[in-house]
Amino acid sequence: MNQSNKPIVWGLFAAGGTVSAFLVPALILVTCLAVPLGLLPADTLSYQHLIDLLQHVISKLITFGVLFLIIWHAAHRMRITAHDLGIRNDTVVMLICYGVAAAGSLLMLLALLKI
Amino acid sequence: MSRRPYIRELSRTGWWLKQPRYVRYMAREMTALFIGLYVLILMAGLFALSKGEAAYAEFLESADGLVGLTFAVITMIFAIYHTFTWFQVTPKAMPLVIGGKRVPGAIIVGAHWAGFAVVSVALWLLAGGQT
Amino acid sequence: MSGRTVELEVLRYDPDQDDAPKFQTYTVPYREDWVVLDAINYVKDELDRTLSYRWSCHMAVCGSCGMLINGEPSLSCHTFLRDCPDKIRIEPLQNFPVERDLVVVMDDFIDKLGSVKPYVVAKEEKDVDEGEYLQTPAELAQYKQYTACINCLLCYSACPQYALNDSFVGPAALALAHRYNLDSRDIGRSAREEVVASNPGIWECSFVGACSEVCPKAVDPAAAIQQTKIASTADYFMKFLMPWKHK
């Protein structure tokens, strides 16, 4: 039995899971629910407000770091779930799950570099 | 007398329906589907933001509405379940021993929820909300 | 018989005659102080001599009498009739081949226990004359919980990952490895990693946690595995960041 490379993906999974646990509920509240419910002013998610917020390097780094960890957490868990639901071809599942996470991360990187 | 061991197979897809504890496990795992989709939407939003005001307006159009709101509510429920289950297992993965005595799990979990409250309030204030 | 009774639905299997296991029902008396094992013993003594099953201590320390009782991996000596419904379904442990009736083939489990080097790998082997390896009560407390395993197989029966992939080293074996890794007298952690930190080792576990829920001795194998994951991950990154430190 060879040494597994799982520590890398599991490390990301654990870090992302912790970040998700602490941040996602509040994130959903702020980004999806607060404005329709009238709890936050309508321009919180406006184009100019977000562009201004994301000008600082720190904001970009934090945004990238947080979303990167969360998407990798979700990707790894989905890979495991596919196995749990009887899908045996782990290589294909792995490529799809991590592929989507990689694509999203790249998209995000390009977006943040441009903003 | 011959040996002929019999192998009882479980359903590979439906095994988790057989006991409540497995259903709860599957629900916990499913949180990742919704959280993942949500983050992908955020990433799409960032991408639209980088393409300009028109692209971003189009993104907001498609994300708004009843479907968007329903998805957000369902994802919120799953997200809180993820938080709940994640905190619940933390004392097992990282047991804390202070002064030779093991810190009760409930205290570790409680501390995490307190941290969660602090972080959530901080994010709320950062977004411009009032307490 | 007069008085309250309980119905046992037992999954029978005779390898000489049956193609597949079949349920057989027995009616046994209800006694307030009986456990399921007492009811099964009654069947064997009074109703059906051919029923085969393992048991020994009748007090939840030997680990012999594990079986599914109404679908839940349980020790039959540890499950009281008064806590069960009037119809009790009894089957051999899930995830193991059925030898006969309630007797399962344990060989895979025994092999896996042995594969994790379940013994103290000491810094220097001492002669008996040189005395014992010393350990403080605090050092003992570190790993004592994980010594409680009675090898009853309930955790393997409850584990869906073992069901889906029987090359998984499994909860009890990994908890046992953890017991030795935490033992202050032991330096064998890296030697155990080949089995423990392999793909069918800790990484097959997805922390369902059913193992710890069914464990009659509160060993908490799930916790043992998660702690090992963290330690292995830290080890892995240390190897890259500080290769000179790794033995």
pLDDT digit string, tens, across residues B73-87: 999 999 999 999 999
What gap in Å lies between CA C135 and CA C145, rounded to an integer?
A: 16
Asked if C61 and C49 count as a contact pair (C-beta separation under 8 A), the reply is: no
- Indicate yes or no: CB of C71 within 8 angstroms of CB of B18: yes
Q: Which amino acid is at C12?
A: R
Note whether residue B90 is domain-resident: no
The CATH number of residue B69's host domain is 1.20.1300.10
Is pLDDT at A4 greater than 80 in this prediction?
no
Phi, psi of C7 (to 5 degrees): -100, 125
Q: Once rounded to an integer, what is the mean pLDDT over residues B1-6?
A: 87
CB of A12 within 8 Å of any CB in chain B?
no
Range of the structural domain that residue C178 is part of: 107-245
Asked if B48 and B56 count as a contact pair (C-beta separation under 8 A), the reply is: yes
Confidence band for A1, pLDDT divided at 50, 70 and 90 = very low
Out of C56, C88, C104, a domain closes at: C104
The CB-side HSE value for B128 (13 A sphere, CA atoms) comes to: 16
High-pLDDT (> 90) share of chain C, %: 90
C72-75 vs C5-12, strand pairing mode: unpaired
What gap in Å lies between CA B35 and CA C144, rounded to an integer?
A: 39
B78 and B18 co-located in one domain: yes
CB count, 10 Å around CB of B113? 12
Q: Which residue has the higher pLDDT, C182 or A5?
A: C182
- Indicate yes or no: CB of B76 within 8 angstroms of CB of A70: no
Phi, psi of B124 (to 5 degrees): -60, -45
Per CB-CB distance under 8 Å, the chain B contacts of A80 are: 29
Is pLDDT at C207 greater than 90 in this prediction?
yes
CB-count burial class (<10 Å; 0-12, 13-18, 19+) for A73: buried
Asked if B93 and B85 count as a contact pair (C-beta separation under 8 A), the reply is: no
C39 and C146 co-located in one domain: no
Q: Once rounded to an integer, what is the mean pLDDT over residues C117-125?
A: 91
Is pLDDT at B115 greater than 90 in this prediction?
yes
What gap in Å lies between CA C54 and CA C187, rounded to an integer?
A: 37
B67 and B131 co-located in one domain: no
Structure confidence at residue B65 (pLDDT): 85
The CATH number of residue C134's host domain is 1.10.1060.10
Note whether residue B123 is domain-resident: yes
C176 and C220 co-located in one domain: yes
- Indicate yes or no: CB of A14 within 8 angstroms of CB of C164: no
Out of C69, C104, C139, a domain closes at: C104
Structure confidence at residue B101 (pLDDT): 84
CB-count burial class (<10 Å; 0-12, 13-18, 19+) for C4: exposed
Range of the structural domain that residue B75 is part of: 10-85
Does the pTM of the predicted model rise above 0.90? Answer: yes
**Where would I find the beta strands (DSSP E) of chain B?**
97-98, 101-102
C91 and C136 co-located in one domain: no
C22-29 vs C72-75, strand pairing mode: unpaired
Is pLDDT at C47 greater than 80 in this prediction?
yes
Crossing angle of the two packed helices B20-51 and B53-63, in degrees rounded to 10:
150
Structure confidence at residue B63 (pLDDT): 87
Structure confidence at residue B131 (pLDDT): 66
Structure confidence at residue A3 (pLDDT): 44
Is pLDDT at C5 greater than 80 in this prediction?
yes
The beta-carbon neighbor of C222 closest among B92, B95, B100 is B92
Structure confidence at residue C106 (pLDDT): 97
What gap in Å lies between CA A23 and CA A31, rounded to an integer?
A: 12
CA C217 from centre of chain:
10
Could you tell me the CA-to-CA distances from A44 to A38, A52, A85, B59 in Å, in that order? Answer: 11, 11, 40, 15
What gap in Å lies between CA A45 and CA B60, rounded to an integer?
A: 9
C111 and C205 co-located in one domain: yes
Crossing angle of the two packed helices A6-28 and B20-51, in degrees rounded to 10:
80
Nearest CA in chain A to C232: A7
Across all residues in chain A, what is the average pLDDT?
92
Confidence band for A15, pLDDT divided at 50, 70 and 90 = very high
C87-91 vs B101-102, strand pairing mode: unpaired
Structure confidence at residue B112 (pLDDT): 97
High-pLDDT (> 70) share of chain A, %: 96
CB count, 10 Å around CB of C87? 11
Confidence band for C241, pLDDT divided at 50, 70 and 90 = confident
What's the structural domain count of chain C?
Answer: 2
Per CB-CB distance under 8 Å, the chain B contacts of C141 are: 100
- Sign of the alpha-carbon torsion through C156, A77, A18, A2: positive
What gap in Å lies between CA C15 and CA A104, rounded to an integer?
A: 55
Out of C64, C88, C104, a domain closes at: C104
Q: Once rounded to an integer, what is the mean pLDDT over residues A2-31?
A: 89
Is pLDDT at C240 greater than 90 in this prediction?
no
Is pLDDT at A11 greater than 70 in this prediction?
yes
Strand, helix or coil for residue C198? strand
DSSP class of residue B96 equals -
Note whether residue B5 is domain-resident: no
Per CB-CB distance under 8 Å, the chain C contacts of A84 are: 160, 164, 206
Is pLDDT at C72 greater than 60 in this prediction?
yes
Q: State the DSSP string of B50-103.
A: HH-HHHHHHHHHHH-HHHHHHHHHHHHHHHHHHHHHHHHHHHHHS--EETTEEP
Confidence band for C245, pLDDT divided at 50, 70 and 90 = low
Q: Once rounded to an integer, what is the mean pLDDT over residues C102-106?
A: 98
The architecture in CATH of the region A6-114 reads Up-down Bundle (1.20)
Structure confidence at residue B66 (pLDDT): 86
Confidence band for C203, pLDDT divided at 50, 70 and 90 = very high
The beta-carbon neighbor of C16 closest among B2, B5, B19 is B2
Structure confidence at residue B121 (pLDDT): 95
Tens of pLDDT, residue by residue over A19-73, are 999 999 999 999 999 988 889 988 889 999 999 999 999 999 999 999 999 999 9
Q: Where are the domains of chain A?
A: 6-114
- Indicate yes or no: CB of B94 within 8 angstroms of CB of C230: yes
High-pLDDT (> 70) share of chain B, %: 98
What gap in Å lies between CA A97 and CA A101, rounded to an integer?
A: 6
Nearest CA in chain A to C239: A7
C86 and C136 co-located in one domain: no
Q: Once rounded to an integer, what is the mean pLDDT over residues B12-34?
A: 97
Confidence band for B1, pLDDT divided at 50, 70 and 90 = low
Q: State the DSSP string of C12-27.
A: E--TTT-SS-EEEEEE
